[in-house]
Chains A and B, each alone.
Chain A
Amino acid sequence: MSALPPYASPLQRTWYYSFRVICGLIFFFLIFPILVILPLSFNAQDFFTFTKEMLALNPAGYSFKHYQDFFTNPDWQQALTNSVMIAPVATLLATSFGTIAAVGLSQSHVPYKPAIMAVLISPMIVPLIISAAGMYFFYSRIGLQGTYWGVVLAHSALGTPFVIITVTATLVGFDRSLVRASASLGANPVTTFFKVQMPLIIPGVVSGALFAFITSFDEVVVVLFLGSAGQKTLPWQMFTGLREQISPTILAVASLMVAISIVLLTVLEMLRRRSERLRGLTPG
């Protein structure tokens, strides 16, 4: 597939180019819906489609009014504040519990490992609607339903599997003799962890934290059931906006979120490269 040989028959030539066209169309399908909302969010009208002025590239057809609405409307600002209050705390909880557990899981003799792993991964496997239903029933029994901490705890539980997976993946390439060397030089386990192990697994920890962050920041089903009006997050506000009074401000928010995902993607890619570079240096 990589390159067309000079002796290729006309049929092979046709197939080669039509396959590329097909792939191009599928890539278009993947990326177009995300790109199309960017220009639409600058629409001067309250429409969800391109106006004549926009197509003629007339500046009058474009405006920042939907962005302005997002930054001035108290509903959206409250939602943004709530999201910013919930996601980092949930990320912190998930990352700290998850990293410690991943270090434990990567030891050579862990009893009942498959069972423990199944429990720890389960929040990722169980459909969100079932998690939401179960948490709603259970948290209302213990008085956490409709509270800030209820949402934070639920979101951190949902985020931990991602931390476990990314951190254990980085620990696979971790050279155990470094721990022994550090111990033989007199460091206690805590010092060893923070001075030797942590700097090497930090890419895995950060990408796990990013996954946990985006899980919480993007989560709508659980917060819809567990939260009360006081915990209305950005995705929740978007969800109600899409379902009831559809306003183009959603497109402005969506464009901002696309920008956030581009930043996240770049950071993750950089981390991956760094981790690969580091792993190239250590044997095994």
Chain B
Amino acid sequence: MSDTTAGQVLTTKDGKPLKAALARALRREKLRSLALIAPLLIFVLLTFVAPIVDMLFRSVENGIVEETLPRTVAALRVWDPESAQVPDEAVFAALYGDLAVAVEEKKHTRLGSRLNYEESGISSLFRKTGRRVNRMDEAGPFKEQFLDADDKWGEVATWQVLRQFSPRYTDGYFLNAFDAQRTADGIQMKPEDERIYMLLFGRTLFLSIVITVSCLLLGYPIAFLLAALPLRSSNLLMILVLLPFWTSLLVRTSAWKVLLQQQGVINDFLVWTGLISDASRLVMINNQTGTIIAMTHILLPFMILPLYSVMKTISPTYVRAAKSLGANDWTAFWRVYFPQSVPGIGAGAVLVFILSIGYYITPELVGGTSGIFISNRIAYHISSSLNWGLAAALGTLLLVAVMVLFVVYDKIVGIDNVKLG
């Protein structure tokens, strides 16, 4: 490095300004770290983030109506849905043209089942009409022929649904997920007895809160004991926490299935001790009780570990100081120790809550019908009812809830401080 005097620019040995050389080195370092991260980042973006984005997109996507019936959709634009009159001949002619193509490509049944989610009966309408289209007179008039094929074509409601879902994007799935529907008078809640999703979201929240609270009640004493004991014995007891943590989820779920059944170990034991009679065996599985017990057991280590790591840092001198100043055991704990353990409670509780609201396997196996979560409904719509749009909308809502909670978690613990094992 050359000599410096006041007012002179610092330079490196080869004569470049030092500032520029440093900036260049920094830039190279940044590029190098990015180059190391890039493979994984691209990998995760392609295999994980893209699917999630695709799901978000699918929850509003509705191209199927316009793709299958392009001419009808165009013709329907001029029709006034409030008019209470069935569209005119031009629309029916367009429908004939579209359906003829769709039947050829066997796409009309898919459209039918898509629209059936919005109004039941449309699926059979499309199937029935699809069979008749080939026999229709190409010269028209089409309106009579369609009405002849199925009376539903003469109902304004059918056309309203068709028009309402003709845009490329729809909020229909989200309305459905909120138990709402679009009627002639705007957006309204569905009738009381059809509101299943809000009920399920409510139950998922309620059960997750119950599970979180019971994890806290069971986890706090354990973490307290582990943090207070000398390292040798606490390490030994830690194994009792870590073994369940490392055991397969399905192993633990099957264990609970074995224990909680009516002919299972717990009931047998209670009958043997004479606490209950053989006829009044407890029903503890395939209901909410089963879900709560099994999930509390499964998620308990996730509560104990963060609590323990916080309690480990609380110095015992504070409690001793409080006692020497005249506090009794309870006051010393409640006023001095407990407030210091609150960050651990926050971290553990949010973690358990995040994990539990998205749980699928355990509720599916031990929850019966009253103990299932919103995720079970999502799975049902993916694999059984094939209403993927609704599954995507429900998934999006759940994802938003988890993201909000995660921001809270990040504020409490910090994303960099996540520890394992």
Say whether B265 contacts A104, CB under 8 Å.
no
B:26-54 near A, CB below 8 Å: 26, 29-30, 32-37, 39-41, 43-45, 47-54
A:99-146 near B, CB below 8 Å: 100-101, 103-105, 107-111, 114, 116-123, 125-139, 141
Chain A residues with CB below 8 A from B50, complex form = 138
What 0/1 pattern do residues 11 to 41 of A give for CB contact below 8 A with B? 0100100011011001101110110110010
Closest chain B CB from A67 CB (angstroms): 15
Say whether A36 contacts B265, CB under 8 Å.
yes
Q: Which of A108, A111, A218, A254 contacts B34 (CB 8 A)?
A: A111
Say whether A104 contacts B420, CB under 8 Å.
no
Chain B residues with CB below 8 A from A100, complex form = 36, 39-40
Say whether B415 contacts A118, CB under 8 Å.
yes
Chain A residues with CB below 8 A from B263, complex form = 47-49
With both beta carbons as reference points, the residue of chain A lying nearest to B224 in the complex is identified as: A1
Say whether A1 contacts B26, CB under 8 Å.
no
Query: When chains A and B are docked, how far (Å) is the Cα of A165 from the Cα of B395?
Result: 26
| B268 proximal to A (CB < 8 A) | yes
Chain B residues with CB below 8 A from A36, complex form = 255, 258-259, 265
Given A48-B261, A218-B249, A107 and B240 touching (CB < 8 A)? no
B:362-413 near A, CB below 8 Å: 364-365, 375, 378-379, 382-383, 388, 391-392, 395, 398-399, 402, 406
| B190 proximal to A (CB < 8 A) | no
Query: When chains A and B are docked, how far (Å) is the Cα of A103 from the Cα of B154?
Result: 68
Query: When chains A and B are docked, how far (Å) is the Cα of A158 from the Cα of B251?
Result: 20
Q: Which of B43, B230, B392 contacts A157 (CB 8 A)?
A: B43
What 0/1 pattern do residues 243 to 284 of A give for CB contact below 8 A with B? 100100011001001100110110010001000000000000
Q: Specify the main secondary structure of chain A where it touches its partner.
A: helix
Say whether A116 contacts B228, CB under 8 Å.
no
Q: Which of A12, A104, A207 has the most chain B CB atoms inside 10 A of its CB? A: A104
With both beta carbons as reference points, the residue of chain B lying nearest to A135 in the complex is identified as: B51
Q: Specify the main secondary structure of chain B where it touches its partner.
A: helix
Chain A residues with CB below 8 A from B53, complex form = 134
Chain A residues with CB below 8 A from B255, complex form = 33-34, 36-37, 254
B:218-233 near A, CB below 8 Å: 218, 221-222, 224-225, 228-230
Closest chain B CB from A170 CB (angstroms): 12
Q: Which of B33, B43, B45, B399 contacts A97 (CB 8 A)?
A: B43
Query: When chains A and B are docked, how far (Å) is the Cα of A238 from the Cα of B251?
Result: 9
Query: When chains A and B are docked, how far (Å) is the Cα of A129 from the Cα of B394?
Result: 11
Q: Which of B40, B239, B361 contacts A98 (CB 8 A)?
A: B40
Given A101-B40, A221-B360, A22 and B221 touching (CB < 8 A)? yes
Q: Which of B49, B246, B378 contacts A129 (CB 8 A)?
A: B378
Chain B residues with CB below 8 A from A80, complex form = none
Say whether B40 contacts A160, CB under 8 Å.
yes
Say whether B257 contacts A34, CB under 8 Å.
no
Query: When chains A and B are docked, how far (Å) is the Cα of A90 from the Cα of B40?
Result: 13
With both beta carbons as reference points, the residue of chain B lying nearest to A27 in the complex is identified as: B240
| A88 proximal to B (CB < 8 A) | no
Say whether B251 contacts A37, CB under 8 Å.
yes
Say whether A127 contacts B51, CB under 8 Å.
no
What 0/1 pattern do residues 70 to 87 of A give for CB contact below 8 A with B? 000000000000000000
| B270 proximal to A (CB < 8 A) | no
Say whether A220 contacts B361, CB under 8 Å.
yes
The 4 closest A-B pairs by CB, nearest first: A127-B358, A104-B36, A134-B51, A138-B51
Between A and B, 5 residue pairs with Cβ closer than 8 Å are A104-B34, A133-B395, A137-B388, A160-B44, A261-B247
Using a CB–CB distance below 8 Å, which chain B residues touch chain A? 26, 29-30, 32-37, 39-41, 43-45, 47-55, 58, 218, 221-222, 224-225, 228-230, 237, 239-244, 246-259, 261, 263-265, 268, 297, 300-301, 329, 354, 357-361, 364-365, 375, 378-379, 382-383, 388, 391-392, 395, 398-399, 402, 406, 415-416, 418-421
